[in-house]
Amino acid sequence: MALGAHVRQVWRLVLRRAFTQLAVGLGLGLIGTLSVRRFLPFVVPSALADPFIPVSITALMVLVTVAACVGPARRATRVDLMTVLRAE
């Protein structure tokens, strides 16, 4: 904000970083699941039988990510710039 960013740009920055981390985490989880599945060849994953579980877990993770970003983004946009500049 001190460098001239608008409120929308701050929100976009925070959400972009959060969703990038979420995508990396989901990708690593998928890779981990596939690698563990190789060690357990006789176990049938329930995701193939019921796609509701992975879809609902992904939706829950997206909601938690957005909820975790709202606080820091709001706090960053409500900062009084003159107070911060005087403190530095």
pLDDT digits (tens, 9 = 90+) for 16-61: 999 999 999 888 888 887 777 777 777 666 655 677 877 888 889 8
**Structure confidence at residue 45 (pLDDT):** 63
How many Cα atoms occupy the beta-carbon half-sphere of 50 within 13 Å? Answer: 5
Q: How far, in Å, CA of 33 to CA of 82, rounded? A: 50
Give the global pTM: 0.67
**Structure confidence at residue 73 (pLDDT):** 86
Q: How many residues does the chain have?
A: 88
Residue 47 domain flag? yes
Residue 66 domain flag? yes
Q: Quote the number of domains for the chain.
A: 1
Q: How far, in Å, CA of 55 to CA of 53, rounded? A: 5
Residue 2 domain flag? no
| Structural domain containing residue 53 | 7-87
Residue 1 domain flag? no
